[in-house]
Amino acid sequence: MKFKKILPQFLTLLFIVLIFGFFTMNAQENMDTRGIQFGFGFLSKEASFDIQFSLIDYDGSMSYGRAYLVGLLNTLLVSFIGIILCTILGIIVGVARLSPNYLINKTASFYVEFFRNVPLLLQIFFWYFAALKSITYARRCSIDFWIIIYDH
């Protein structure tokens, strides 16, 4: 009885291990054929690309490890700022939903229900294609009055 319960789990685990082993051996064989080394040795090589914003000193002549550290610190900064701003926004909307004022209460409720019921992927598409793309298009089509003033 107990053997019947354990056998399918064991076979599934064995199948997963065999698939993982197959893909690992296949990747290693293909990397050996092309002369690519496996490991973290590339982290000490020159990155040869710049990163626009960095909290620590970085230029393209530094290593991939330093670029990774810059990316990690940038991610932590953006995450920290996002957490702070979203906490403030959440407190404001939460207090607004408790407001006895009809307009404030319904506006906050609409905001919450709208973002709760619209799928996240659709929101990401909207912000990328509708909002951000239109900003760059407006920047390309706009007239820079500062240059006009100083050209004359």
The pLDDT of residue 88 is 97
Q: Give the tens place of pLDDT for each residue, 89-105.
A: 999 999 999 999 999 99
Residue 138 has pLDDT above 80, yes or no: no
pTM, to two decimals: 0.62
Q: Which of these, 66, 59, 60, lies nearest to 42 by C-alpha position?
A: 66
SS (HEC) of 28-42:
HHHHHHHCCCCCCHH
Domain ranges in the chain are 1-38
Alpha-carbon 5 to chain mean position: 41
The pLDDT of residue 43 is 87
Reported as a pLDDT band with limits 50, 70 and 90, residue 149 is: low
What's the CA gap between 68 and 84, in Å, rounded? 24
The pLDDT of residue 142 is 58
The pLDDT of residue 134 is 73
| Average pLDDT over every residue of 110-126 | 92
Kindly state the percentage of the chain with pLDDT values over 90: 57
At 53, phi and psi to the nearest 5? -120, 130
Q: Give the tens place of pLDDT for each residue, 9-48.
A: 999 999 999 999 999 999 999 999 998 888 888 888 898 8
Q: Radius of gyration of the chain from Cα atoms?
A: 27
**Which tops the pLDDT comparison, 60 or 111?**
111
- The burial class, CB within 10 Å (0-12 / 13-18 / 19+), for 47 is buried
| Average pLDDT over every residue of 108-117 | 93
**Which tops the pLDDT comparison, 17 or 131?**
17
The pLDDT of residue 54 is 87
CB 24 within 8 A of CB 7: no
